[in-house]
């Protein structure tokens, strides 16, 4: 199925619909195995955390096989449009990659993005030639504005970053999906594969997961589980779900089937 159902972002085509974050793994070995088990093709890295300039630092970027993955630098930790633009440019200069997951997060408690600052930074970065994937609240009007600004995707949150509370914004997500002209990637808050499947079943194009994999008891096993969940959700979306019914509907209709002989003959203890 993947071969016939590619995901295209910024002119590149992917067969996996599961993006992974790298921020919470306890060690690089587990991280590499989890990336492998997930089948991901897009990996996001917080540039501030990479400490690009640290001398002799065997850092995160060295631990990633960049021939296999589309590197997606992100601007985590940036509180304003200005900071995010600066970090995006530093990231491009250091890595040669012009993709950026744009995060403008003034709110330290809930880690919620700033709609106005995100839109402003996105306009600037698109103008700079970046492929921009902005992290946003599930706001359909903002999503449309980001599309018009030239963003490559829109990435609405499922619940607060790192909370693992699952898809709690479904009511608004459906408004973001309705009429979207770029891929919608559900980002933040997914806790288990069924959350990811649910997002894809509803029409989301992909998901991004970090904490739910890194903090699982077995991160590699969970990475595989998310891979399956994403495939399940996409396959279901393509297959077209049944209509819900208010009431019951017999799986095995017995209308017209003659009743069997008299029950008296049967001995029930």
Catalytic positions, written as ranges: 101
**Residue 189 annotated as part of some ligand binding site:** yes
Query: Beta 7-9 vs 12-14: how paired, if at all?
Result: antiparallel
Residue 191 beta carbon to its own copies: minimum distance, rounded to whole angstroms: 6
Residue 183 beta carbon to its own copies: minimum distance, rounded to whole angstroms: 20
d(CA 122, CA 141): 15
Q: Name the residue nearer to its own copies (CB basis): 12 or 174.
A: 174
Q: Name the residue nearer to its own copies (CB basis): 11 or 248.
A: 248
Q: What is the 3-state secondary structure (H, E, C) of 26-55?
A: CCHHHHHHHHHHHCCCEEEEEHHHHCCCCC
Smallest Cα–Cα separation from 217: which of 39, 66, 34? 34
Instruction: Output the six-digit token pair for 22.
Output: 């790298």
**Residue 162 annotated as part of some ligand binding site:** yes
Instruction: Output the six-digit token pair for 82.
Output: 């200005």
Q: Name the residue nearer to its own copies (CB basis): 58 or 260.
A: 260
d(CA 15, CA 159): 26
**Residue 21 annotated as part of some ligand binding site:** no
**Residue 211 annotated as part of some ligand binding site:** yes
Residue 105 beta carbon to its own copies: minimum distance, rounded to whole angstroms: 8
Q: Binding-site residues for 1-deoxy-D-xylulose 5-phosphate, please?
A: 162, 188-189, 210-211
Annotated binding-site positions = 162, 188-189, 210-211
């Amino acid at each position: 199925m993947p071969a016939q159902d590619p995901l295209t972002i910024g002119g590149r085509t992917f067969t996996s619909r599961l993006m992974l974050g790298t921020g919470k793994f306890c060690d690089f070995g587990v991280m590499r195995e989890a990336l492998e088990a997930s089948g991901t093709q897009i990996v996001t890295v917080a540039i501030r955390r990479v400490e690009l300039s640290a001398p002799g630092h065997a850092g995160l970027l060295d631990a990633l096989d960049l021939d296999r993955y589309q590197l997606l630098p992100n601007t985590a930790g940036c509180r304003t449009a200005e900071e995010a633009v600066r970090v995006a440019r530093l990231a491009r200069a250091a890595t040669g990659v012009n993709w950026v997951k744009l995060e403008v997060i003034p709110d330290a408690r809930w880690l919620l993005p700033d709609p106005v600052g995100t839109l402003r930074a996105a306009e600037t970065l698109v103008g700079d030639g970046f492929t921009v994937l902005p992290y946003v609240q599930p706001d359909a009007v903002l999503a449309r504005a980001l599309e018009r600004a030239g963003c490559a995707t829109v990435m609405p949150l499922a619940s607060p970053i790192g909370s693992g509370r699952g898809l709690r914004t479904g009511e608004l997500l459906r408004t973001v999906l309705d009429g979207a002209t770029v891929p919608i990637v559900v980002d933040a808050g997914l806790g288990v594969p069924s959350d990811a499947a649910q997002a894809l079943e509803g029409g989301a194009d992909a998901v991004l997961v970090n904490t739910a994999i890194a903090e699982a008891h077995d991160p590699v096993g969970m990475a595989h589980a998310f891979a399956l969940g994403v495939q399940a959700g996409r396959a279901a979306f393509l297959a077209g779900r049944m209509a819900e019914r208010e009431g019951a509907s017999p799986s095995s209709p017995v209308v017209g089937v003659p009743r069997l002989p008299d029950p008296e003959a049967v001995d029930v203890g």
